Amino acid sequence: MAKVVPLKLESRFVAIEGPVGVGKTSLAQRLADHVGGKLILEEPENNPFLENFYLDPKSNALPTELSFLFQRAKQMESINQEDLFSDISIADFLFEKDSIFSELNLNTEELNLYKQVKKSLQIDPLIQIWLFIYKHPLMY
């Protein structure tokens, strides 16, 4: 039986990360509800290049990664603007994972461009707590 434990978070930003289907969004929603925080969800359905990326990764990697980068920048901007009104923000993804995927998906020239764009956006999530959740393979 689950036990409810009082939770007091001093941090302003929490990121939850883990493999697909492990329950990141569910945990983020419950945590945000519990502490009255702002919920920030990953929105892959809003990336117009993602479907084409799965069909032809090499040709579509750069627009896909840049679209995610701009999405994150917009989310960070909203977090920074709403900091005055919300004590805590909770995301169901780690902003830094975009850099990992860009390293894996982009060629050298594309990666250099991606890094230049990212630097110009000055994305600074100031994550204070990371929660990484996973399931043992036998739990799937």
| DSSP of 55-105 | H-HHHHHHHHHHHHHHHHHHHHHHHHHHTTT-S-EEESS-TTHHHHHHHHH
Q: Are strands 89-91 and 13-17 parallel, antiparallel or unpaired?
A: parallel
Q: What is the DSSP letter of 20?
A: T
Residues classed as catalytic: 92
Query: Residue 81 pLDDT > 60, yes or no?
Result: yes
CA distance 8 to 45: 33
- pLDDT at position 66 is 97
- CA dihedral of residues 67, 134, 23, 3 (deg, nearest 10): -140
Q: State which H helix or E strand residue 118 sits in.
A: helix 108-121
Q: CATH for 13-134, among 3.40.50.300, 3.90.550.10, 2.40.30.10, 3.40.50.720? A: 3.40.50.300
- What pTM was estimated for this model as a whole? 0.77
* Biggest alpha carbon–alpha carbon distance for the chain: 53
Query: What is the residue extent of each domain of the chain?
Result: 13-134
pLDDT in tens, 90-118: 899 888 888 899 999 999 999 999 999 99
Over pLDDT 90: what percentage of the chain? 44
